[in-house]
Homo-oligomer: A and B are copies of this chain.
Amino acid sequence: MPEISFHDFQNCYCFNLRWVSRVVTQHYDHALSGCGLRVTQLPILARLAAEDMTMADLADWLAMDRTTLLRNLRPLERADLVYSVPTGEGRKLKLVLSQEGAALLEKAYPVWRAAQQSLTRILGQQRWETLINDLAMTGENLTGGSN
């Protein structure tokens, strides 16, 4: 008899991932609060620090809906951390990290690093690497291996 139990749902991978995401996000956000940045904004700035990208490519890399990224960029544009310029081909825009964005990224780096290290202390480097690897494999499998 497949009696439906609360405990079955408690093993939900998605629930557990979201649960720890909330906790970890707050950990980083509290650390970063002095920088005026959120941990959700860091990967965008950091990725653009490496190279200019179109919104579609950046959204793909983030495994995020294109329209979600569009709105997430608004606070960054308002703060003059990121701006967009036409590429010349079609309506395609290129996202560029501004000087202020690069400066803020540098300022946030040691703060982020401290938050990261306090997590490393909990599980250890090795277990984190395994964990991130397994998560990446799961994500790549679900997105068709395009990431």
A residues sitting closer than 8 Å to B (CB atoms) are: 2, 4, 6, 8-28, 39-40, 42-43, 46-47, 49-50, 62-64, 105-106, 109, 112-113, 115-116, 119, 122-123, 127-128, 130-132, 134-139, 141-143
Contact = CB atoms under 8 A, between A and B. Distances in A.
A135 B6 contact: no
B47 A6 contact: yes
User: Main secondary structure on chain A at its contact with chain B?
Assistant: helix
What is the oligomeric copy number?
2
A19 B11 CA distance: 20
Nearest to A128: B13
Given A6-B46, A143-B23, A16 B137 contact: no
A27 B17 CA distance: 13
Nearest to A29: B14
A116 B138 CA distance: 12
Given A123-B134, A138-B122, A15 B27 contact: no
A15 to B, nearest CB: 5
A20 B24 CA distance: 14
